[in-house]
């Protein structure tokens, strides 16, 4: 089974197992796995199984996809939403046994943290490559920074034990990656992280940092699609 099918299993499971009634307000994350959750939501709206749901998106990627699938969208400051979502569904780059996450592979973690933390129930959809014993084993911690603060923040991240690198675009975007909020991303390689909750706060204490990609104590449930075609479910204890 391909990794894409594993992502699809997880993306569909989140919608099939959690989106229930009309009027539900749903946070929608970013990345390649959430594409399948958006596809499933669109399909169920079209066939009449769901109605009157409202999505709050975390990036231009998910906003455009929701529009393409005719899913009504709004924002957290819409009075009908008033800063509270029933559920949020999002991907992740790495997760540990305590269901802490590293996110931000798609440079969208700031808006993702805002939306995901506004949800009463936060659902994560991943493939099995994302599972690790300790966060940081596989992935660097993305840090969104105000461009003018780049060098200052880099020095502070080194002092915290990281090897920081400015994330660069590719052939289709020369120079640094610019987030949907107009900022830079630093990928801070820490290696295995002993205390993700402490590090999350330490990074956010640096002046010039907008938000980092450590998501601790937020997740309610994780659906992990596996290459053998099964799904493993991890619930917050
Ligand atoms: C974007 C994210 C994504 O959710 C994360 O990178 C996972 O993406 P994918 O589903 O493509 O593996 O945090 O900022």
CA-closest candidate to residue 215, choices 128, 129, 127, 139: 139
Asked if residues 188 and 143 have their Cβ atoms less than 8 Å apart, the reply is yes
Distance between CA atoms of 109 and 71, rounded to whole angstroms?
22
> What CATH number has the domain spanning 3-131+217-235?
3.40.50.1360
Q: What is the tally of helices (H) and strands (E) in the chain? A: 6, 14
Q: Hey, which of 103, 117, 177 would you mutate to test ligand 1's pocket, going by the most ligand atoms within 8 Å of its Cβ?
A: 103
CA 125 to ligand 1 center in whole angstroms: 9
pLDDT tens per residue, range 24-53: 999 999 999 999 999 999 999 999 999 999
Domain boundaries, the chain: 3-131+217-235, 141-213
CA 107 to ligand 1 center in whole angstroms: 8
Asked if residues 233 and 124 have their Cβ atoms less than 8 Å apart, the reply is no
* Backbone torsions φ then ψ of 65, nearest 5 degrees: -65, -40
pLDDT tens per residue, range 2-17: 899 999 999 999 999 9
Architecture of domain 141-213: 2-Layer Sandwich (3.30)
Non-local CB neighbours of 125 within 8 Å, separated by 6+ positions: 7, 10, 11, 13, 14, 33, 34, 36, 37, 89, 90, 91, 222, 223, 225
Percent of the chain surpassing pLDDT 90 = 97
Helix 34-46, helix 60-68: angle, nearest 10: 30
Catalytic residue (choose from 43, 49, 94, 112):
112
Residues within 6 Å of ligand 1 by CB:
29-33, 90-93, 103-109, 112
Global confidence as pTM? 0.97
pLDDT tens per residue, range 69-85: 999 999 999 999 999 99
Active site residue 165: no
Mean pLDDT value across the chain: 97
């Amino acid at each position: 089974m391909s990794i894409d099918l594993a992502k699809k299993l997880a993306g569909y499971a989140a919608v099939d197992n959690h989106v229930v009634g009309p009027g539900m307000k749903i946070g929608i994350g970013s990345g390649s796995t959430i594409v399948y959750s958006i596809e499933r939501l669109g399909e169920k709206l079209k066939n009449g199984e769901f109605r009157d749901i409202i999505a709050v998106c975390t990036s231009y990627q998910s906003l455009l996809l929701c529009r393409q699938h005719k899913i009504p969208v709004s924002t957290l400051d819409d009075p009908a939403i008033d800063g509270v979502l029933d559920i949020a569904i999002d991907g992740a780059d790495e997760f540990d046994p305590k269901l802490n996450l590293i996110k931000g592979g798609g440079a969208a973690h700031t808006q993702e943290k805002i939306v995901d933390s506004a949800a009463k129930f936060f659902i994560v959809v991943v493939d099995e490559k994302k599972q690790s014993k300790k966060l940081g084993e596989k992935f660097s911690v993305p840090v969104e920074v105000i461009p003018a603060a780049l060098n200052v923040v880099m020095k502070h991240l080194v002092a915290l034990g990281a090897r920081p690198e400015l994330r660069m675009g590719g052939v289709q975007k020369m120079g640094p990656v610019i987030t949907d909020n107009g900022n830079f991303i630093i990928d801070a390689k820490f290696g295995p992280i002993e205390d993700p909750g402490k590090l999350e706060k330490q990074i956010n204490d640096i002046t010039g940092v907008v938000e980092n990609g450590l998501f601790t104590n937020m997740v309610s449930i994780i659906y992990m699609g596996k290459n053998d075609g099964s799904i493993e479910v991890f619930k917050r204890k």
